[in-house]
Structure 1
Amino acid sequence: MDKFLIGPTFHETHHISFVSRLVQPTPVLRDAAVACAAVLFGDQLAEYAKPSVEVGHKRAASVVSALRSFNISSEQDLVVALILGVSMVTFAMHVQKGNAYLISHYTLSLIKTQNADLSALDSSTIDLLMCLISTETFECLLRSYKPTIRIDLRGRENRVDRYVGLSAPIFAHFYDICEVSSSIRHSEVTRPEILRHLETVHDGVCHWQPLTPVDFLERFTKAEVVNMMAQAKVLRLAAMLIIHRIYHPYGQSDKEGLMLSKAIISEFERVLQLSQRSIPCTALAYLVACFEISGMEERSSAIERSEKVVTFSKQAQLNFKTKVNLVWNAKDHGCQFYWFQLDDYIGT
């Protein structure tokens, strides 16, 4: 479970949550749990990969069908929708041609129509919500799409999320970056307006720091504290690097971009050395950092290191390598492009 959760403190509650779905009287929740279990099993044991995926696809098809016709009329319905969405995102990120973005986007759109006060949800439910928001937002950053929900956690900024630790509040800044990048890509506003907005977003990211609960050091292990602080740091640095590439295309102002890249990669190396595990929900940060690398030896090391950094699934590792190689190839052929043009180079 380390590849999903920020630390062992959350293992028991996460395990109980998963097992409870297996014994749920609702068939669709059981199907969701079985679909996830099947692909997780196949991901760990290669000889069972094909039959596991076949079982998973059958159950997942049932869940997706149910999700498409799902109506939310109560808070419990909202929780069920989140569970189904998170389950299908997990499944999609383990299979070839799985589209975690579409699932997260659809589920969040379904939830958004209810106009619920999401910040009033209990912590466990917000964890599920953040799983979907992070999945959608990371893809929106790469594609210059506008995410579905701008999460507002005012008053709860210091809550600790099982997936994104102390970093949930930075997703509001990621939303703003996506909004700016999308506006530029689609020429929705004038350049002076964009620059003013981008400057405001940049200031917000530069000044953002994770807030910790009063019992933070007593409640979590040293390794968990290291991971959470590192997670916040690399996500913030990634946001700064993306903003840099909105201002400057690849091939220009590369010195500044490489400095941010090295800071991100150094943090990953430090955490791997200290805790011997990856940092959840940070593959995007590592990808953004690797885009900046030009030297062949450094690129080879980055690919090798990705096996330890991008650990969600074998498919996630493959997707990482595909995207980073496409960008490197474009740069090597002299292409100079801004961040908001990245979608033209990284494929589907």
Structure 2
Amino acid sequence: MGHVPASSRAGASVQFTMNHPYSTSSPGKPRWATRNRLSPERTEDGLYQANNKKEYVSASDHGHNGPAAAAAHRAANSPVNAVAVLQQSRRQDLYQSITLFPELSSLELCLLESMLHKQIEVDRYIIGPSFRERHQQAFVDYLQSGMTLVKDAFIACMVLLVENPQIRKLAQDQHVGHKRAANALASLRHLEVSGSDNSSAVLMLGIAIVTFASHHSGGELPLCRHTLDLVKRFHDNEPTFIKQLSCDGISALNCLLATETFICLLRGHVPSIRIREGDFDGLVDRFMGVSAPLLTHLYDVCQLIELIRRSRRESNNSHLRARLRTRLKTVEQTLRVWQPMSLESLREGNFTPTEITLMLTQVMVLRQTALIVLYRLQHAFGTHDGRAIAMSRYLVRELHSMVRLTGRSAPCLDFPYLFACFELVDRWEREAALCNLHLVAEFSPRTADDLKTWLVSFWTARDNSGGGSIYWDDIESHLFGTGGRM
């Protein structure tokens, strides 16, 4: 896929240093489940419960000292009202800061103002409404703490998210998103990250650019890789890196890693970062739900694809092939016994039935997808099909059932649907899969179109191969040749 075009500012190097001088409006801590309970101190919302002092008012009090006055006093001084007043004040200060950039048009200022007032639609990008407030606030927080860095990317993203259809249409007609995305990409390409404390902002910048690209020009893989490479050394060298990230930084990391990982599964590449086992245990994430720990094991599957493809070219290296078979069985067994640590707390937490259904479906589908890939690394398409087709049909049925029950899809399920449909050989099943693909891959129409193209291309290659010649590690060459638009 093509890159977002670089702007005339591409030659300007961006030195990025960032502090988080504020506390109450800074990005919240992530939601974790500990000891099978959701910890009230660390949530996606980042809200800390204040101790409410009880006020005792005599029933005989009247006028300024009566119950009505006491109630008004309590409301005015409640923690919720205090937070609202503080947020309103900060929004005003932030808007004043935005207007200091003379190059911003009135339409771009309007887009940012919509973001500040949370008049943006984010639900289709996240698990559900329980995470909506935090995700909307994330844009406000990082615009406040790193305006020069993120404003271009956020403006481009707001063209997609703004609720007002007239503003959206006007911005699209004036190509506001593409212009700002080009500036943001130039900044990303020349970005120098001074330390791990800046990583959350870098990841938020990356997720905004990738979101825009996924709807327009594509190029998600190189964009994800470049962003993740900026923080990779901090992750690999600092065992507490994940704990240092804000909840928004963790979610952005998950989103970028998941996007990169599924493309890597398709193409047989190795993702940028292998999350340490245990780092995401108990996490309930706005994008990955309770499935984030699976990213570690999906990394291992990607690594196996690359190594097995290499070993097939080295026909005389029987020792390597034996070691890879052992490694594959180990990864497969790990996936079969893996369970998210936060399932009980998920049921006890403040999540809607729809959100729980989506998160449980995510867990099942992502794990089963990894097992299908491992199976097709051992057995070519067209051989030993019974088990693979059974797993595939089960996944397709579960995904269709999820959409029927909830009226929507969940993040990170578009590529698993593609992989499951690779197994279909019946004409009617294939037609149904193509008709329903957009219901599962609802994140981006452009992505859904690409998935349809790849699916038809793979079916054609499989049907023409005569069976038995295409393993999973061969898929890239059949879909993309030596290159690819991704």
Q: Give a deviation string over 1:266-285, Cα, whole Å, max 9, x none.
A: 11122112111102111111
Q: Which residue of 2 aligns with 1:111?
A: 231
Q: Which residue of 1 aligns with 2:356?
A: 225
| Map 1:261-276 → 2, pairs under 5 A | 261-276=392-407
Secondary structure of the corresponding residue to residue 165 of structure 1 = coil
Asked whether 1:246 is paired with 2:388, we answer no
Give the one of 304, 318, 325 matched to 1:195.
325
CA contact (8 A) 2:409 2:442 kept: yes
Mark the CA change 1:40 to 1:321 in structure 2 (over 3 Å): closer, same or farther.
Answer: farther
Q: Which residue of 2 aligns with 1:174?
A: 298
CA contact (8 A) 1:258 1:293 kept: yes
Q: Of the two, which has the highest radius of gyration?
A: 2
C-alpha distance in 2 between matches for 1:24 and 1:58: 23
Q: Which residue of 2 aligns with 1:141?
A: 265
Q: Give a deviation string over 1:75-133, Cα, whole Å, max 9, x none.
A: 4421121011111111111013x201101111111111233433323433211111111
Asked whether 1:94 is paired with 2:215, we answer yes
| Map 1:12-51 → 2, pairs under 5 A | 12-21=133-142, 26-40=147-161, 48=169, 51=172
Asked whether 1:236 is paired with 2:356, we answer no
Asked whether 1:343 is paired with 2:464, we answer no
C-alpha distance in 1 between matches for 2:136 and 2:242: 24
CA contact (8 A) 1:40 1:94 kept: no
Q: Give a deviation string over 1:19-50, Cα, whole Å, max 9, x none.
A: 445566623311111111224569x89x9499
Asked whether 1:60 is paired with 2:193, we answer no
Quick one: which amino acid aligns to residue 134 of structure 2?
Answer: T
Q: Give a deviation string over 1:305-342, Cα, whole Å, max 9, x none.
A: 11110011110111110110110111121253100111
Asked whether 1:84 is paired with 2:205, we answer yes
Give the one of 463, 468, 480 matched to 1:332.
463
C-alpha distance in 1 between matches for 2:434 and 2:161: 23
C-alpha distance in 2 between matches for 1:25 and 1:290: 43
Aligned-pair distance for 1:153? 4.8
Asked whether 1:3 is paired with 2:124, we answer yes
Number of equivalences: 345
C-alpha distance in 2 between matches for 1:112 and 1:282: 25
Q: Which residue of 2 aligns with 1:211?
A: 341
Secondary structure of the corresponding residue to residue 93 of structure 1 = helix
Quick one: which amino acid aligns to residue 130 of structure 1?
Answer: N
C-alpha distance in 1 between matches for 2:181 and 2:385: 44
Quick one: which amino acid aligns to residue 406 of structure 2?
Answer: S
C-alpha distance in 1 between matches for 2:288 and 2:406: 17
Quick one: which amino acid aligns to residue 281 of structure 1?
Answer: C
> Which one has the bigger helix percentage?
1
Identity percentage of aligned residues: 34
TM-score of the superposed pair, with normalisation by structure 2:
0.67
Deviates more, 1:83-92 or 1:109-118: 109-118
TM-score of the superposed pair, with normalisation by structure 1:
0.93
Quick one: which amino acid aligns to residue 277 of structure 1?
Answer: R
CA contact (8 A) 2:264 2:271 kept: yes
Aligned-pair distance for 1:155? 5.8
C-alpha distance in 2 between matches for 1:179 and 1:130: 18
Aligned-pair distance for 1:52? 5.2
Q: Which residue of 2 aligns with 1:150?
A: 274
Quick one: which amino acid aligns to residue 80 of structure 1?
Answer: A
CA contact (8 A) 2:389 2:424 kept: yes
CA contact (8 A) 1:180 1:194 kept: yes
Q: CA RMSD in A?
A: 2.2
Unaligned stretches of 5+ residues in structure 2 = 1-121
Q: Which residue of 1 aligns with 2:17?
A: none
Q: Which residue of 2 aligns with 1:304?
A: 435
